[in-house]
């Protein structure tokens, strides 16, 4: 979030203060009622994001127009080398303009993708406009004679037919995905009573709505908040909502409270901001009016954005591609070190080369992280209840070296390829890791907010010196602070910076035992 005054009653600083001064952290797992658990289990699988689908459609439609152009070129013109470059430039320019015109015509909105018949004129006009503009450009640049008119006409007609056919097929698929729950945004209403009922009715009345309301959660008792709101059951309180949202892969929390109830809204955010979801404040019943840019919308229902899910949609695709490329590169570069370390471990002590440990991953899920074994097999501590300290007798001679140099972390390149870890992110901590006999989430308020993104092999905290033994509250607090900074300021350039600084900063081994 940016440190500026928002267009509503909350300042960005006030909302961000939730991160630094949240309420007492909730239990890691709250017990759900049988009905809440049953409903959450129905939504346990992930869905296709409408944003991702529209993005893929852009790429496919670009490919369709370009492919048809080349296919018609091969059939009618052949492949003379002296004209291939000119035709290629014209094809890619036309395909690019077509997608831009479709974008300007809002042709990638969900309503248009679901029902292209009502906007078929707009779609045809967008494609035709791109071809007409290219034709006009060829005339003014005096290069039109370099191109076959038969090719251009056949390309236009064939591309238009292929485009419309693809849109019709996709409209059927999108409607089917919307019916069976494969393409939707799952939402939970926070707060009950009459305002929540009016909000739900308004959302459900929106045509081509991709929002699926999964239930209502409210801390208030039955006298102030009925058990059923607009046909949806009240499934529990806010502490239970956190566990429900993790099981059901909820995408959005919609807070149905008046904007004037600032204290209560902030109190809710202190508990909810640890989730990797979009958090919106309903502006449906608010009488205060703000500038249009202050709102986002579900159909015509106005929402005020409080928190956005970090590294979402195409950002997540870019980050995944980044992880795969650099993980493979790392395995190639460090393969001699990996092989040599495995041999050294096997020669020094009996037992497996790889040590596997359960840790907290994305959305607080348990994942299995791989490391080179650095302790004697019978002294390994998968729970990390007893942290490794200086001159720890459990650590082997090879183990001391690979822990100091962080070579023991190299098998996590495989974790990154498998998708359980990212190359860069908050370091995953063991489930029972603690300091002063307190688990980390008992020491740091809002600790679980660091799990809003996938954990990493290396991270911003590690290259800033916060690695190794955690023997004080200050160390885990600083780790968490740096992790939250990374999440709020993520970019691929930031990841690249951390990745290339890691070998340099890890030369400081004072805190690694």
Reduced to 3 states (helix: H, G, I; strand: E, B; else coil), residue 122 is helix
- Pairing outcome for strands 434-435 and 438-439: antiparallel
Residues 6+ apart with CB under 8 A from 258: 195, 285, 286
* Residue 74: Cβ within 10 Å count: 11
In angstroms, rounded to a whole number, what is the distance separating the alpha carbons of residues 167 and 233? 38
CATH topology of domain 12-47+184-307: Rossmann fold (3.40.50)
Quick one: which H or E segment has residue 370? strand 366-372
Report the alpha-carbon distance of residue 272 to residue 449 in Å, rounded: 9
65: burial class by Cβ within 10 Å (0-12, 13-18, 19+)? buried
**For the chain, what are the domain ranges?**
12-47+184-307, 50-180, 314-505
Token digits of residue 390:
């200086």
Residue that is written with structure tokens 């039109």 in the block: 144
The two structure tokens encoding residue 451: 């799990």
The partner residues of 254 in beta bridges, in order of sequence, read 189, 280
Number of other residues whose CB lies within 10 A of the CB of residue 328: 13
The beta strand positions in 276-353, using DSSP E, are 278-282, 295-298, 301-307
**Residue 23: predicted pLDDT:** 41
Q: Which single residue is written with the structure tokens 């350039």? A: 493
Instruction: Print pLDDT tens along the chain (513 aa).
Output: 344 334 444 544 554 454 444 444 444 566 788 888 888 888 877 777 888 888 899 999 999 999 999 998 888 877 665 677 888 888 999 999 999 999 998 888 888 888 888 888 889 999 999 999 998 888 887 777 777 888 889 999 999 999 999 999 999 998 888 877 788 889 999 988 888 888 888 888 877 778 889 989 988 777 777 888 888 888 888 888 988 988 888 899 998 887 777 788 888 888 888 889 999 888 766 555 555 566 777 777 888 888 888 988 888 889 999 999 999 999 999 999 999 999 999 888 888 888 888 888 888 888 899 999 888 877 776 666 666 667 778 888 888 888 888 888 899 999 999 999 999 999 988 777 767 667 777 778 778 888 899 999 999 988 888 776 676 778 888 888 999 999 999 999 999 999 999 888 776 655 554
Q: Tell how far CA 232 is from the center of its chain.
A: 28
Return the structure tokens found at 126: 């967008």
Count of C-beta atoms within a 10 Å radius of residue 445 = 17
394's tokens: 């459990």
Neighbours of 305 (CB within 10 A): 16
Of the candidates 360, 276, 280, 361, the residue with the CA atom closest to the CA atom of residue 311: 276
Token pair listed for 30? 């709250």
Give the 3-state secondary structure of 246-257: HHHCCCEEEECC
- Counting Cβ atoms within 10 Å, is residue 331 exposed (0-12), middle (13-18) or buried (19+)? middle
Q: Mind giving me the DSSP string for 126-178?
A: HHHHHHHHHHHHHHHTT-GGGS-HHHHHHHHHHHHHHHHHHHHHHHHHHHHHH
Encoded tokens for 28: 């890691």
The secondary structure of 74-101 as a DSSP string is: HHHT---HHHHHHHHHHHHHHHHHHHHH
Q: Are strands 456-458 and 422-424 parallel, antiparallel or unpaired?
A: parallel
What is the rounded CA–CA span in Å between residue 178 and residue 497? 40
- Between CA 378 and CA 367 the distance in angstroms is 23
From CA 33, how far away is CA 181, in angstroms rounded? 23
Rounded Cα distance between 484 and 476, Å, is 12
The structure tokens listed for 372 are: 């080179």
Residue pair 243/211 in contact (Cβ under 8 Å)? The answer is: no
Per the CB < 8 A criterion, the answer to whether 228 and 194 are in contact is: no
Prediction pTM value = 0.77
Q: How many helices (H) and strands (E) does the chain have?
A: 18, 14
């Amino acid at each position: 979030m940016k440190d500026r005054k928002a267009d509503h009653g909350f300042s960005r600083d006030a909302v961000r203060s939730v991160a630094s001064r949240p309420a007492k952290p909730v239990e890691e797992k709250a017990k759900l009622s049988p009905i809440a658990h049953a409903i959450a289990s129905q939504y346990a699988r992930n869905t296709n994001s409408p944003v991702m689908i529209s993005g893929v459609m852009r790429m496919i439609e670009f490919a369709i127009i370009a492919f048809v152009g080349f296919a018609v070129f091969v059939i009618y013109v052949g492949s003379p080398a002296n004209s291939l470059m000119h035709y290629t430039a014209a094809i890619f320019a036309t395909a690019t303009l077509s997608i831009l015109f479709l974008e300007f015509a809002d042709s990638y909105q969900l309503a248009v993708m679901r029902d292209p018949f009502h906007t078929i004129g707009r779609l045809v006009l967008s494609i035709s406009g791109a071809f007409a503009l290219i034709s006009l450009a060829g005339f003014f640049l005096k290069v039109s004679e370099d191109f076959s008119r038969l090719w251009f006409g056949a390309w236009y007609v064939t591309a238009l037919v292929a485009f419309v056919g693809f849109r019709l097929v996709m409209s059927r698929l999108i409607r089917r995905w919307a019916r069976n729950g494969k393409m939707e945004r799952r939402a939970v209403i926070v707060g009950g009573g009459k305002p929540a009922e009016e909000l739900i009715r308004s959302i459900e009345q929106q045509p081509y709505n991709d929002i699926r309301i999964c239930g209502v959660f409210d801390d208030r008792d039955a006298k102030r908040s009925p058990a059923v709101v607009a046909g949806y059951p009240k499934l529990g309180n806010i502490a239970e909502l956190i566990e429900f949202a993790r099981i059901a892969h909820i995408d959005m929390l919609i807070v149905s409270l008046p904007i004037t109830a600032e204290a209560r809204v902030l109190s809710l955010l202190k508990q909810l901001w640890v989730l990797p979801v979009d958090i919106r404040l309903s502006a449906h019943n608010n009488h205060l009016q703000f500038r249009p840019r202050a709102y986002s919308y579900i159909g015509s229902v106005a929402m005020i954005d409080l928190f956005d899910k970090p590294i979402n949609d195409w950002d997540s695709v870019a980050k995944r591609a980044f992880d795969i490329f650099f993980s493979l590169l790392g395995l190639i570069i460090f393969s001699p070190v990996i092989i040599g370390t495995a041999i050294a471990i096997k020669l020094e002590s009996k037992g497996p080369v790889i040590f596997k440990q359960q840790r907290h991953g994305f959305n607080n899920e348990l994942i299995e992280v791989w490391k080179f074994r650095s302790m004697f097999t019978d002294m390994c501590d998968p729970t990390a209840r007893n942290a490794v300290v200086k001159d720890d007798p459990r650590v082997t001679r090879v183990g001391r070296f690979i822990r100091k140099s962080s070579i023991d972390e190299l098998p996590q390149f495989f974790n990154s390829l498998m998708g359980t870890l990212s190359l860069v992110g908050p370091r995953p901590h063991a489930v029972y890791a603690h300091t002063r006999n307190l688990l980390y989430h008992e020491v740091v308020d809002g600790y679980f907010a660091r799990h809003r993104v996938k954990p990493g092999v290396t991270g911003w905290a590690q290259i800033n010196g916060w690695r190794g033994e955690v023997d004080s509250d200050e160390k885990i607090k600083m780790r968490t602070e740096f992790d939250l900074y990374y999440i709020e300021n993520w970019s691929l350039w930031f990841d690249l910076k951390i990745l290339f600084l890691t070998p340099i900063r890890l030369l400081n081994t004072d805190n690694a035992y």
